[in-house]
Amino acid sequence: MKFNILDILLPRETKFYAYMSEQVDVLIEGTKLFKEFVNNVENLNDEEFKKQITKIKEIEFKGDTVEHKIIDELHKTFITPIDREDIHTIAINIDKALDILNSLSQKFEIYRIHKFTPNVLKFADVIVEISIELSYLMKALADKGDIMKHVQKLHSLENTADHLFHWSIADLFDGTHDPIEVLKFKEVYEHLENIVDCVDYVGKLIRGVKVKQG
């Protein structure tokens, strides 16, 4: 762990690391539930289907609560462990990932989607994996550890998602699918890719924090 004399002379509110980690934990909870949902959707009756969507909404609300706590504390805190603008942007993007996850789940009910393509299931694996990797990155940031291996892993997963998105869209437009289904699943894939992009962007922000810290 790198020693910094300023940490003694100017004590910083390290609680923000705990808050951001809490926010990531909520994201992991949401992505895991989403993965379980899409993998088992064909076995759910209408009531169970709606309950799963409601659970994801509740997780999104939990994430909102943590984000609001972070923003409120930023207004009250004089010295933060990293730039307050960085904390604010990190919190917003983690919350955005949760918002997209919830929005996507709501669309399953609106569009009456009760069966998913293999690529949706693969995307579900990616969003769980990338959110877990983000938790490792947050811990490394708090511990002043090696963040780059986690940033690189996030970027690798983002590349995986990019390729999956391109192949998924190509498959949709191969001329064998119902046009309505094409429209539905094109939106599904776009939402899933946007979740991955939000998490990868947080990784890039944290990499920038490390650069500023020297």
What does the pLDDT read at residue 35?
A: 98
What does the pLDDT read at residue 80?
A: 87
Exposed, middle or buried: residue 189 (CB in 10 Å: 0-12, 13-18, 19+)?
Answer: buried
What does the pLDDT read at residue 175?
A: 87
Q: Provide the terminal-to-terminal Cα distance of the chain, rounded to the nearest Å.
A: 13
CA–CA dist 168, 189 (Å, integer): 7
CA–CA dist 11, 165 (Å, integer): 45
Chain-centroid distance of CA 127 in Å reads 7
CA–CA dist 49, 42 (Å, integer): 9
What is the model's pTM? 0.91
pLDDT in 10s for each residue of the chain, 214 residues: 444 544 443 445 678 999 999 999 999 999 999 999 999 999 999 999 999 999 999 999 999 999 999 999 998 887 888 899 999 999 999 999 999 999 999 999 999 999 999 999 999 999 999 999 999 999 999 988 899 999 999 999 999 999 999 999 999 999 888 999 999 999 999 999 999 999 999 999 999 988 877 6
What does the pLDDT read at residue 76?
A: 86
Exposed, middle or buried: residue 63 (CB in 10 Å: 0-12, 13-18, 19+)?
Answer: buried
Selection from 76, 90, 86 nearest residue 22 by Cα: 90
What does the pLDDT read at residue 10?
A: 40
Q: By the 8 A CB rule, do 27 and 97 touch?
A: yes
Residue at token pair 């939402």 = 191
Please report which helix (H) or strand (E) contains residue 176, including its range.
none
Ranges of H-type helices in 41-147: 46-76, 84-110, 118-142
Pick the CATH number of 12-213 from 1.25.50.10, 3.90.1070.10, 1.20.58.220, 2.60.40.10: 1.20.58.220
What does the pLDDT read at residue 1?
A: 44
CA–CA dist 24, 20 (Å, integer): 6
Q: By the 8 A CB rule, do 141 and 17 touch?
A: yes
